[in-house]
A and B are shown apart, each in its own frame.
Chain A
Amino acid sequence: MGLLRGLRSWLDERFGWDALIAPLRKKTVPLHRFSYWYFLGGITLFLFIIQVITGILLLLYYRPGASEAFESVQYIMTRVQFGWLIRSIHSWSANLMIFTAFAHMFSVLFFKAYRKPRELTWVSGVILLFLVMGFGFSGYLLPWNTLAFFATKVGTEITGQVPIVGRPMMIFLRGGEEVTGATLTRFFGFHVAVLPGLTTLLILVHLLLVQRLGISVPPKLEAEWKASPAQRREMKFFPNFMLRELMAWYVALGVLGALAAIFPWNLGIKADPFVSAPAGIKPEWYFLFMFQTLKLIPPKVWFIDGEVIGVVVFGLIALLWLLLPFLGRNHPSRVQRWITGIGIFALAYMAGMTVYGHFAQ
């Protein structure tokens, strides 16, 4: 510990370190029976950091390009020392991160942390959620195996259904009319450069906002505490909450290691565009609810294609989700009850459709 103190004074003399982290020292976290939910954002951040580290390590051996991608992943899994570990952690962490991102979003929704003045935190968060799903979609193709190839084909096909801009969007995503090696190169660029850049920027914005605005408290509790301030309980962020968060991060690390060692991610079969799609192609679980919904819509509603309707509806819902905090400013409490209701419905729908999609033929 003496070593740490010495380091701190060295940094302070050169960076003004103490003054810089002073607000952090003052930061507090509200303490109540739902406080554990506050961990979710941090865990998502931790998993992102893991993704960056393992992603950079994978970059040392991965080769984008239809003739080399699959073989390079095979090489990582079989020849590189602990390559299996790095790659499996990367794949598992990706799935876990999407799960925690959704959980974080829903917990913020139900605890109504999006209320004024935190609207922009919500907006940046929803955009981050979309970016994370974009990470998942682009990353999934990179091993260039059969399942990934056809899942990408189907996914980009559905994008093409958006009216007017759909087709140009699809060609932009695919790097051409069809899914080819050009798509792989493009997705690689998105996955390692474009998306990380945007995500890092937005994370900084998101964290800055959280730092500046403090941690929100659920409305009922807020009202209680306003009435009797003595009841308010808080915990210092540094070091108390932070240490607890670190514990959660260590648990997450342990879970990741266990998953990677016991259920290593498989290679699959190398993609061959001339072979017909295997039966029952499905996207990864986080897209299943949308995929299953589209399958259930009849082929034609009126004169419009069923898929177009599905895609447009999802697009509108996404837009609505983004602008949630700005809806119904005039009747906040009523709108909030509606939002809670819609949130419960959305959660149930997504969970139900995911399970249905998993077991459907």
Chain B
Amino acid sequence: MAISHSNGWMLPGGLLGCLMLWAAVATGQTKNSCLDCHSNLPEPLGVTQEKFSHDIHAQKGLTCASCHGGDPTSDDPDKAMSRKAGWKGKIDRKQIPQLCGTCHSDTTYIRQFNPSLRTDQLSQYRTSVHGKRLALGDTKVAVCTDCHSVHDLRAPTDSQSTVNPVNVANTCARCHADANYMAEYKIPTSQFAEYGKSVHHEALVVRGDLSAPTCTTCHGNHGATPPGFASVANVCSTCHVFQAQLFDASPHKEAFSSAGLPGCVTCHSNHGILHPTDELIGTDEKAVCTQCHTEGDAGFVAAGKMKQQLVQLAGAIDGADQILSRAEQSGMEVSQASLDLVQARDVLTKARVTVHSFNVARIESEIKPGMETAAKDYDAGKKAMAEREYRRVGLGVSLVAIALVLVGFRLYLKQIES
């Protein structure tokens, strides 16, 4: 246990607290006189029973005294909140990480509750920007309770927890999106807004896909530090393996690092990563290629060619799809062709990944079979439409025959009735 030099009562108080806990756990009872008064007090002194019931520490049998010290068994405020009993009162912000670390860095202690829980949070925190600045005396930075909440601290797997992956961005944004709060640090505060527009946000927060990243996925949680220019591509490549491999084998890798440009982020942005469309590549102003490449250089030509390949296949698939839909709506059977078209779509999806190799020949060879399939399916669609026409012609012939009969009947009737 960490020993504080500012208050000599810490050690005996802490020991007494542990003794209390042991007694409480051993006897199966946790008397918590603190709540009796404090549940009726207004904020910031007040903590309601209801709020505290959500706290995971409370659920595990800890009491107010476990962190704040004092005597939770006594109903007399003077005795309960006596320095002699080790009462600390409100914990100073600078002391919070250490206080939490008293238990959470003690592997032996945590093992009693959750053997698989990590115990390196405090040491990680000390390497983070937050931890380093706190050590220098800046109390504006985040400490444990800022992110994890306090008194109603929930496990990260709880969907209402402030550190549940789906909620993490909101938690970080409490400071990092507040321009006034962050004014002195001279770093941007647009990340949260940017992230809100991104595909990762859409996947994680909107669709609930937990494989998508949030702030802590790329920046770390306890050891929160932005990845440097050189290493940001490594972070992306953890999930986007193929794109990273292709990029590393491409001419851009060398070019970017010598120009001091980070891979991935230069074209796709870091926080506001939008769903990439075919517009991203090419030679018009909207394409990212034109940020570096100009008319006439090899890269410009390659960009144009690659874009053309993608657009061509997308157009062919679209055309085949349209004619097949029309045929299907007219009642024709086109399921085999529609199934085959899926293969062409596969090719397009793969080609859009291969773009990261920036190798025109490679893309061309991938696109070719896709074009063939799309052309075949278009023909199938045309055949189906021809069958449709054949049916209408057949109908026309039958209707002519019927009309002939009707005329004949009419004449015959006239004849026999005259």
Interface residue? B409 (CB, 8 A):
yes
10 contacts between A and B (CB under 8 A): A77-B333, A78-B333, A239-B416, A253-B402, A257-B395, A257-B398, A257-B402, A258-B395, A262-B392, A262-B395
Q: How far is the CB of A89 from chain B (nearest CB, A)?
A: 12
- List of A residues within 8 angstroms of B409 by Cβ: 243-244, 246-247, 250
The chain A residue sitting closest to B393, CB to CB, is A261
Q: 1/0 contact trace for A257-292 toward B, CB 8 Å?
A: 110011111100000000000000000000000000
B399 contacts the other chain (CB 8 A): yes
Contacts A85-B391, A244-B413, A266-B331 aside, 10 further interface pairs with beta carbons under 8 A come to: A77-B333, A78-B333, A84-B331, A240-B413, A240-B417, A243-B409, A247-B405, A250-B409, A263-B331, A264-B330
Chain B: how many interface residues by the 8 Å CB criterion?
A: 19
Residue of A whose beta carbon sits closest to that of B412 = A243
| Residues of chain A within 8 A of B398, CB atoms compared | 254, 257
A79's closest neighbor in chain B, by CB? B333
Residues of chain B from 348 to 404 with CB closer than 8 A to chain A in the complex: 391-392, 394-395, 398-399, 402-403
The minimal Cβ–Cβ distance linking A226 to chain B, given in whole angstroms, is 27
Could you say which residues of chain A place their CB within 8 Å of the CB of B395? 257-258, 261-262
Could you tell me how many residues of chain A have their Cβ less than 8 Å away from some Cβ of chain B?
A: 24
Task: Let me know if A201 is at the binding interface, CB within 8 A.
Answer: no
Using CB atoms, name the residue of chain A closest to B403.
Answer: A254
B393 to chain A, nearest CB (A): 10
Q: Closest CB-CB distance, A318 to chain B, in whole Å?
A: 36
Q: How many Cβ-Cβ contacts under 8 Å join chain A to chain B?
A: 50
Q: Which of A77, A240, A266 is close to B416, meaning CB atoms less than 8 Å apart? A: A240
- Label chain B's interface by main secondary structure: helix
A77-B333, A240-B417, A262-B392 as given contacts; A254 in contact with B412, CB under 8 Å: no
Instruction: Give every chain A residue within 8 A of B333 (Cβ-Cβ).
Output: 74, 77-78
B19 located at the interface, meaning its Cβ lies under 8 Å from any Cβ of chain A in the complex: no
What are the residues of chain A within 8 A of B412 when measuring CB–CB?
243
Is A251 an interface position by the 8 A CB rule? yes
Chain B residue at minimal CB-CB distance from A260: B395
Q: Least Cβ distance of B111 to chain A in Å?
A: 45
Inter-chain contacts of B410 with A (CB < 8 A) = 247
Q: Which of B391, B406, B416 contacts A250 (CB 8 A)?
A: B406
With beta carbons under 8 angstroms apart, the residue of B331, B399, B403 that contacts A257 is: B399
How far, in whole Å, are A88 and B394 apart by their CA atoms in the complex? 15
Instruction: Please give, as numbers and ranges, the residues of chain B lying within 8 Å of A88 by CB-CB distance.
Output: 331
State A243–B411 Cα separation when bound (angstroms): 11
In whole angstroms, how far apart are the Cα atoms of A251 and B409 in the complex?
12
If the complex has contacts A78-B333, A84-B331, A240-B413, are A251 and B406 also in contact, measured as CB distance less than 8 A? yes
Closest to B400 in A: A254
Q: Which residues of A contact B399 (CB under 8 A)?
A: 254, 257-258
A250→B413 contact, CB < 8 A: no
Enumerate chain B residues within 8 angstroms of A262, measured Cβ to Cβ. 392, 395
B389 CB to closest chain A CB (Å) equals 11
